[in-house]
Structure 1
Amino acid sequence: MKMRDTFLKPMHPEGRKFVGIFAVITLGLFLVWSPLGWLGVGLTVWCYYFFRDPVRATPTRDGLIVSPADGIVSLIEKAVPPAELGMPDMALTRVSVFMSVFNCHVNRAPIKGRISAIAYRPGKFFNASLDKASADNERNSLCIEIDDRRQLAVVQIAGLVARRIVCFSGEGDTLLTGERFGLIRFGSRLDVYLPDGVEPLVSLGQTMIAGETVLADLAGMEPRREARLS
């Protein structure tokens, strides 16, 4: 890997207009007062990094469920998937990944499968790290049907700063594990509802990398993992 690749990451097309807006404002700030202009430069660089879309090495073994987002595991608990997806009304293990405004916000499919349902629901904009964000915040939910007919739900949830959920995929589309399917601006959370009986292989506080970190294994028999923060 070249040194420049460490710092210069590809940018998702969704971010081009925002970087352009930040750049134009920065030029205006330089005309007003030079220190304000340099502040604008910093914010423009941040905007570019917010929309970065780096290449990820996604594991290809069948049955592996990967993290759909960069961030921190903020919640692991039993919960019923969003009613608008039409999934069975039973509690499943929900793993929540919280994305700060410094994380990469491109969302990736947790597993290979067909999108059997997509449902958008408007809502509030509580801090996405709070438990009530799953129920009350604006969200976009996907139900992915796996090859063995089991279902998995992944939910994009807007946060305190986020005001726009973007989904590039539609009902009937087939996604590959780690394939890009959406993003959220700016700061948010993704929930994954695992199929019944599947235990997560991650723990609270763990740092996740979208498309790379293995979240669970459909064929695994390992009990739920616990971790010690150090």
Structure 2
Amino acid sequence: MFHKEGSKIILFASVLLVAILLLAGELIDIAWLRMAIQLIGLFFYVMILQFFRNPNRTIAPNENSIVAPVDGKVVVIEEVFEEEYFKDKRLMVSIFMSPINVHVTRYAVSGKVKYSKYHPGKYLVAWHPKASTENERTSVVIENSVFGEIMYRQIAGALAKRIVNYAQEGDVAVQGTDAGFIKFGSRVDLYLPLGTKVNVKLQEKAIGNKTIIALG
């Protein structure tokens, strides 16, 4: 299954691949060169398909847990001052996505969307200390019955050129459902209340909708 955000790119890549295979077969007489070009075209096509894959991970919402919104590696767990919305200290958990990870963003909790804002910005590498506040990003706050207000922030990286955010203020978010997509992108930060019982460790691999980030 592939995410809808990749439909146009996959269609274009399919047409391009067919063209490469046919033209290489007709125009290149050197066997090894023809094969090399066809294999390179096939390799990039497979990379595009895997990037837009959207595995079915339907879950039963649980008010007492915060699930990973994306696939990736937990790279930060620390107290920070969140200056955009909360304007106080929060516990930040950051998940870095490599190009081979699933890039679908899912709602980490259920609740009402209280805030949703897009910020244009730079394209620093995702692990840069200023990426969270200076890169292109979207910030979404959900009010949950157990954890109160939590924020997740989609952050573009050096390769990311488009952030897709479905959350609109007033929406009812359902844990585990589609919240957006980062095309060729890279990092999601969660901002949790201080004292939240974090259930993951640094460098741990997180799987969207499966890994429990925190418990209430």
What TM-score do you get using the length of structure 2 for normalisation?
A: 0.90
Match of 2:31 in 1: none
Letter of the aligned partner of 1:53 in structure 2?
A: N
Whole-Å separation in 2 of the counterparts to 1:174 and 1:71: 26
Match of 1:162 in 2: 160
Whole-Å separation in 2 of the counterparts to 1:115 and 1:64: 17
Match of 2:176 in 1: 178
Whole-Å separation in 2 of the counterparts to 1:216 and 1:177: 13
Equivalenced residues, count: 206
| Structure 1: tracts of 5 or more residues without a match | 1-9, 219-230
Letter of the aligned partner of 2:174 in structure 1?
A: L
Q: Name whichever structure is richer in strand by fraction.
A: 2
- How far does residue 57 in structure 1 lie from its aligned partner after superposition? 4.8
Whole-Å separation in 2 of the counterparts to 1:176 and 1:109: 7
Letter of the aligned partner of 1:63 in structure 2?
A: N
Alignment of 1:64-83 (within 5 A): 64-83=65-84
Match of 1:24 in 2: 15
Match of 1:204 in 2: 202
- How far does residue 58 in structure 1 lie from its aligned partner after superposition? 3.0
Aligned residues: percent identity?
A: 35
| Structure 2: tracts of 5 or more residues without a match | 29-33
The structure whose RCO (Cα within 8 Å, separation 6+) is larger is 2
- Pick the structure with greater CA Rg: 2
- Indicate which of 91, 94, 107 corresponds to 1:93: 91
SS of the residue aligned with 2:198? Answer: coil
Whole-Å separation in 1 of the counterparts to 2:117 and 2:204: 29
Whole-Å separation in 2 of the counterparts to 1:21 and 1:156: 26
Match of 1:3 in 2: none
Match of 2:5 in 1: 14
Match of 1:133 in 2: 131
Superposed structure 1 runs of 4+ greater than 4 Å apart: none
Match of 1:103 in 2: 101
